[in-house]
Amino acid sequence: MKSFSAKMIKPLTLPVATLLAMTACSKNPESPSSQEQFGSATDRAAIEASIQQDDLFNSQGLDDDGEQSPDYDSGVSKVAEQINTIKFGRRAPFKFESVDIVFDSDTTATATITHSLNGKFFILAKDTSDSNVVGTLYSKDMVNTILRKAKLRKVRDTGNDRRDWRVTAVSGAVASSPNPTITIAELTYENSDGTTLTITDPLSYFMNRETGVPEFRRGDSVKVFVKLTNTNEFPPAPGETALLRYGMDHQFHRARKRLNDEGIYPDAVAGDGTYSGLYRVHGPRWAHRLHHAGVDIIDNGTIYDDVAPYDAVAWSLPYMVRLF
């Protein structure tokens, strides 16, 4: 993996709300806003088309295609006791919703991209009343909003929607259910060569497309640490299930595994609110390839209570896998 620069390692602390808010524009006709000065309808269409076709904004890997084992590599009814879960997972289409564009000049712009992953969260539970029954399938309505930001530059003026505007930098992504009880404070990646990357706000962490996207070699071992809090305390303790998702790409490869806060390697201290885990980098055999990795935190009420609402937060970053 190429070494992270000091600028990349430095945690960022700008609040998400500040980054999502668009700069207020004056209505004074003598002081037109950047929206009025720059950005034709053709430019807006070009930017939207460029973003929709770019794998940098792909978060399809959050969809599990239904109930799955906690670790894998590829009508709700009330019950009298806690669900004894066997498998769980999402099933929903990954859908582009909108892009909000602020033109900084006639050749540069900042975009906030919104996707959705709305559908069902499935839980396959053991049947405690009949040992002959394999399990009971529960489902819950699920809503996820996925945000990512991008910097763009106009590199030519041909009128070709796909070529005129180019993404020059991209932020991390945040996926969230409405009003989540979970707050992620910090996410750290540590490669086997000792280089680290720590972020505290994915939407303010911009990676230059050509030189800033983290790079790994096939077979690298990457440790992941995530600090979080949860105002809900649904059992089993500590109240949430933390998952590592990795290897997500445009071909819809899916892989996930549990993170732990039990002092099991690479976790250092049990019960301190920092979940830890590691994964081995999947790699292409004939070409460099873009993937995504991140953490997916699901409140235990979502998984173990058949009437509790869906409640989850996820952070992710793109990365490149190099052949050499």
CATH code: domain 6-322 is: 2.70.50.30
Query: Helix or strand or coil: residue 177?
Result: coil
Give buried/exposed letters for 12-47 (b at 16+ CB in 10 A, else e): eeeeeeebeeeeeeeeeeeeeebeeebbeeebbebb
pLDDT in tens, the chain (324 residues): 444 433 333 333 333 333 333 333 333 434 444 444 677 888 888 888 888 888 788 777 788 888 888 787 763 333 334 556 679 999 999 999 999 999 999 899 999 999 999 999 999 987 766 666 667 899 999 999 999 999 999 988 876 656 789 999 999 999 999 999 999 999 999 998 889 999 999 999 999 998 899 998 888 999 999 999 999 988 888 899 999 998 876 556 778 999 999 999 999 999 999 999 999 987 666 556 788 999 999 999 999 998 999 999 999 999 988 876
Q: How far is 136 from 252, CA to CA, in rounded Å?
A: 28
Domain boundaries, the chain: 6-322
Identify whether the C-beta of residue 100 lies closer than 8 Å to the C-beta of residue 22: yes
End-to-end CA distance of the chain: 10
Q: How far is 81 from 83, CA to CA, in rounded Å?
A: 6
